[in-house]
Amino acid sequence: MIPFKKVFNEKKNNTKKKEYRASSKLCKGCELVESCLEKSKENKFTITYYREEYERNIARI
């Protein structure tokens, strides 16, 4: 499980995002570590703050 780090407003379009980061320490036992982290020491990705609401709405339809 990749830990949650922070909530922020994206500057480009002022939307709320959640940021997650995975460090090389966290990924030691994972078989995907080479393709995921490559040369960096950590991998970060963002998702919309409202993802849970989107998924709930899609499930309803």
Asked whether 45 and 20 are in contact (CB, 8 A), the reply is yes
pTM of the model: 0.64
Residue 20: what residue type?
Y
Alpha-carbon separation of residue 60 from 14, 16, 36, 49, 50 (angstroms): 28, 23, 33, 19, 16
* pLDDT tens track for 2-55: 777 889 999 999 999 999 888 778 878 888 777 877 777 788 889 999 999 999
Q: 16 — alpha (psi -120 to 50), left (phi > 0) or beta?
A: beta
Residue 14: what residue type?
N
The number of CA neighbours under 13 Å toward the Cβ of 42 is 12
